[in-house]
Amino acid sequence: MTGEKMSDSIRLQKILADRGIASRRKAEELIRAGKVAVNGKTAQVGDKADPETDRITVNGKPLRGRSRPVYIMLHKPRGYITTMSDEKERKCVAELVRGIPQRIYPVGRLDRESEGLLLMTNDGAFANAMTHPSRHVPKTYRVTIRPDVTGEQMRRMAEGIVIDGRRTAPADVRVLVREPGRVVLQVVLHEGRNREIRKMCEALSLETARLKRTAFGTLKLGMLPAGKWRELTDEEVVRLKAAAGDRSGDGRGQKSGGGEFCWNRAGRSER
């Protein structure tokens, strides 16, 4: 607990995350709610404990031993919320991964009407590395816009837009498909703010008709059907961890086909 100087003491939220109880952020919420105790005493945020010698309970139940690390990718369909339970009885992603014996949780989130690649794990350190703002792990989205988008609007999306009092980080934006009344963009984000793309489009008076995450770092959704999941290979996990620790990339987007132009953090790029 706070004030103890044992060398093996670890912050409670990290212990809970490492044991697959919840992400660190959710673990802090459990602690604030008074649902975590150490040696019979209700814990406070910032408390530490030794998971090998202290008795840690969550909702009155003893903390179980460390389980096998699990890393999966789920193709989240539209209409599901990114949570493991919902008091309003809405459809949540937990329903799609019931066959997994370990207790896992989402890495970040996709809003209810968005779809695509969602990582889930019971490895708290991995989840934190994938979502921490300082790691800049890129996330790629296919965004359908109506009715059209201008070069100026794309430039503003790429350079950053002030949303809720703070400017969004630079992004890579390019046109994939342009048809009458419909444009499909590829947008690569390097931060993970809530509903960021939808808010950027709203600020530019653009209608977001569809939003799908197609890649997370080096991992691509591929042909995985909606509502299905698969476990990541060891190599995929290693590559994702490397992406979280590698800040050497310049973040530049690829050139687009069909004569269209794209905007990235280095400015305009043409075919």
User: Does residue 117 or residue 244 have the better pLDDT?
Assistant: 117
Check: CB of residue 271 under 8 Å from CB of residue 257: yes
Exposed e or buried b per residue across 242-268, where buried means at least 16 C-beta atoms within 10 angstroms of its C-beta: ebbeeeeeebebeebeeebbbbbbeee
Task: State the Cα–Cα distance between residues 57 and 31, nearest whole angstrom.
Answer: 11
Exposed e or buried b per residue across 117-132, where buried means at least 16 C-beta atoms within 10 angstroms of its C-beta: bbbbbbbbebbbbbbe
Just list the catalytic residues. 111
Residue 34's domain comprises: 10-62
CATH number for the domain including 34?
Answer: 3.10.290.10
Give the global pTM: 0.74
Domain-embedded: residue 48: yes
Poorest-pLDDT segment among 17-21, 45-49, 58-62, 183-187: 17-21
Domain-embedded: residue 270: no
Query: Residues 169-196: what's their mean pLDDT?
Result: 93
Domain-embedded: residue 81: no
pLDDT at 6 over 50: no
Residue 133, preceding bond cis, omega within 30 degrees? no
Domain-embedded: residue 251: no
Count of CB atoms situated within 10 Å of the CB of 145: 23
Return mean pLDDT, the chain. Answer: 86
Give tens-digit pLDDT for 234-270.
999 999 999 888 443 333 333 334 445 567 765 655 4
Check: CB of residue 252 under 8 Å from CB of residue 265: yes
Domain-embedded: residue 57: yes
At residue 252, the pLDDT reads 35
Check: CB of residue 173 under 8 Å from CB of residue 186: yes
Residue 183 corresponds to which tokens in the numbers above? 């444009």
Give tens-digit pLDDT for 186-242.
999 988 788 999 999 999 999 999 999 999 999 999 999 999 999 999 999 999 999
- Number of domains observed in the structure of the chain: 1
Domain-embedded: residue 52: yes
